[in-house]
């Protein structure tokens, strides 16, 4: 017996060996929705058309709500190896240590929210390749845009049906498997081309010394080890700079910000991609041109420049700033590293959200729509999980349908009610 998943509804199908072997000739009908599952719909680990063991896929769920963590873990652990994290920082550490195949990430979390977690993951070479799906009660269109902008591949709004979630997970894992297989084939082709090149060099009578230098596996291994050490040293340097309280940034010669450390990102209350391409002199000082004493204004200045104290209208505090010229191999200035020291504690972050509108005339309490969506989502996931655990119980299946119908109706009613009375900011 084998298990495959329907890409249409996400349900689990138990298939006989001989039926699966003939899938190239005859598609298999989904046992739940009737969707025709053909060979290309299989999530394939091996590329040979054989069935995958979905337990080899690792999914990381990051959510501060313990009930959601438990529900999702229970619902998914039959098909996947599930890891959980109850905070953004814990989730980042788990992503680095466990190297999951996919991450389910909540947006609204205390401390480090989902957007910041996703941005951090996408900046790290170890985790930037991991697909991220946001699961959130935030329903505004700009929230979805922001989620996709920081690197997520999908955005699911609560409440959701667990079968739909399964379908999305299966679909994205299929694409990941195809991408991994393509990368493997590219690596094999590169290896083959290199082998042919070595043969040509040998046949052309390349000097033994030069040939050994080009092809010696010991030297290649040493060079590869040196490259790995260099990458590790770079990562350590980035970690150190991110731990500093000073604001560190790198900008091109025109003042456009290319990189910023964590302290600077938090001080301005922006996401990393929102800082990129902004002019440093406009961001800090609200100027339209580089400041006097800055390398961006005068490349002949001595580097590093003398510290200059200025007041930042944006941060509402005095800052002490120093610039360091960065050169290419021809000693041309290509960028500037800027160190900015706050002269008083930074309290600025994101601008405060505007206050909610006053209550309606009938003094009905303001609705927090996200909490309703969370509650409805819990109902749906719980009922689907129980149904999947006891599929043979027809009475339970009928009860599950009642819960699903009632939850969907409740969601519609809440949506209509929210249009008539004030909502709290989510």
CATH of the domain at 120: 3.40.50.2300
Question: Are 90 and 30 within one domain?
Answer: no
User: Which of 115, 148, 174 lies at the terminal end of a domain, its last residue?
Assistant: 174
State residue 419's pLDDT score: 66
User: Which of 315, 345, 375 lies at the terminal end of a domain, its last residue?
Assistant: 345
Question: Are 72 and 121 within one domain?
Answer: yes
Enter the tokens of residue 272.
């990393």
Question: Are 153 and 247 within one domain?
Answer: no
Strand-pairing partners, residue 3, are 14
How far apart CA 38 and CA 29 sit, in angstroms, is 9
What's the total number of domains in the chain?
A: 3
Question: Are 75 and 152 within one domain?
Answer: yes
**Is the sign of the CA dihedral 360, 365, 368, 372 positive or negative?**
negative
Question: Are 17 and 67 within one domain?
Answer: no
Residue 49 lies inside a defined structural domain of this protein: no
Angle at the Cα of 43 (from 39 to 49), degrees rounded to 5?
A: 45
Residue 366 lies inside a defined structural domain of this protein: no
Q: Which domain holds residue 266?
A: 243-345
Question: Are 12 and 107 within one domain?
Answer: no
Question: Are 67 and 32 within one domain?
Answer: no
Residue 325 lies inside a defined structural domain of this protein: yes
pLDDT in tens, 43-91: 443 333 344 456 678 999 999 988 888 888 888 888 889 999 999 999 9
Cβ atoms < 10 Å from Cβ of 42: 21
The CATH number of the domain holding residue 272 is 3.30.450.20
Please count the residues of the chain. Answer: 426
Question: Are 251 and 294 within one domain?
Answer: yes
Spatial CB neighbours of 211, under 8 Å, sequence gap ≥ 6: 201, 202
State residue 3's pLDDT score: 66
User: Which of 311, 345, 379 lies at the terminal end of a domain, its last residue?
Assistant: 345
Strand-pairing partners, residue 102, are 59
How far is residue 409 from each of residues 143, 372, 385, 414, measured CA to CA in Å?
24, 13, 20, 9
Question: Are 256 and 281 within one domain?
Answer: yes
Cis peptide before 304 (omega within 30 of 0): yes
Residue 401 lies inside a defined structural domain of this protein: no
Question: Are 29 and 123 within one domain?
Answer: no
Question: Are 36 and 119 within one domain?
Answer: no
Q: Which residues of the chain have pLDDT under 70?
A: 1-3, 5-13, 32-33, 39-55, 139-141, 201-231, 344-377, 379-380, 382-400, 402, 404, 411, 415, 417-426
Question: Are 24 and 131 within one domain?
Answer: no
Residue 383 lies inside a defined structural domain of this protein: no
Residue 289 lies inside a defined structural domain of this protein: yes
């Amino acid at each position: 017996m084998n298990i495959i998943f329907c890409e249409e509804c996400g349900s689990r199908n138990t298939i006989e060996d001989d039926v699966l072997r003939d899938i190239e000739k005859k598609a298999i009908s989904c046992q739940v929705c009737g969707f025709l599952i053909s060979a290309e719909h299989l999530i394939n680990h091996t590329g040979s058309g054989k069935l995958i063991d979905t337990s080899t896929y690792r999914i990381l769920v990051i959510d501060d709500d313990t009930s959601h963590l438990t529900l999702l873990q229970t619902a998914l652990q039959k098909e996947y190896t599930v890891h959980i994290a109850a905070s953004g920082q814990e989730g980042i550490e788990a992503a680095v240590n466990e190297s999951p195949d996919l991450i389910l990430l909540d947006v609204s979390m205390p401390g480090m929210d989902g957007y910041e977690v996703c941005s951090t993951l996408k900046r790290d070479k170890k985790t930037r390749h991991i697909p991220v799906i946001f699961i959130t009660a935030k329903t505004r269109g700009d929230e979805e845009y922001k989620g996709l902008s920081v690197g997520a591949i999908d955005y699911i709004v609560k409440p959701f049906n667990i079968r739909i979630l399964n379908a999305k997970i299966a679909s994205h894992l299929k694409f990941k498997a195809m991408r991994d297989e393509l990368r493997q084939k590219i690596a094999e082709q590169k290896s083959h081309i290199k082998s042919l090149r070595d043969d040509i060099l040998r046949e052309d009578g390349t000097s033994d010394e030069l040939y050994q230098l080009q092809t010696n596996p010991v030297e290649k291994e040493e060079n590869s080890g040196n490259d790995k050490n260099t990458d590790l040293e770079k990562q350590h340097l980035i970690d150190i700079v991110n731990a500093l309280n000073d604001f560190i940034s790198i900008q091109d010669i025109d003042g456009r910000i290319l990189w910023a450390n964590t302290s600077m990102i938090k001080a301005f209350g922006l996401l990393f991609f929102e800082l990129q391409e902004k002019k440093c002199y406009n961001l800090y000082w609200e100027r339209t041109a580089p400041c006097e004493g800055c390398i961006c204004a005068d490349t002949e200045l001595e580097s590093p420049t003398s510290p200059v104290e200025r007041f930042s209208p944006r941060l509402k505090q005095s800052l002490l700033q120093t610039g360091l010229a960065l050169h290419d191999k021809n000693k041309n200035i290509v960028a500037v590293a800027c160190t900015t020291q706050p002269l008083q504690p930074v309290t600025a972050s994101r601008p405060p959200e505007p206050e909610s509108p006053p209550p309606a005339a009938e003094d009905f309490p303001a609705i927090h729509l996200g909490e309703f969506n969370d509650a409805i989502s819990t109902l749906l996931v719980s009922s689907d999980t129980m149904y999947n655990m006891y599929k043979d119980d027809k009475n339970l299946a009928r009860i599950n349908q009642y819960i699903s119908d009632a939850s969907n109706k409740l969601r519609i009613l809440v949506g209509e009610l929210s249009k008539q009375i004030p909502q709290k900011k989510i």
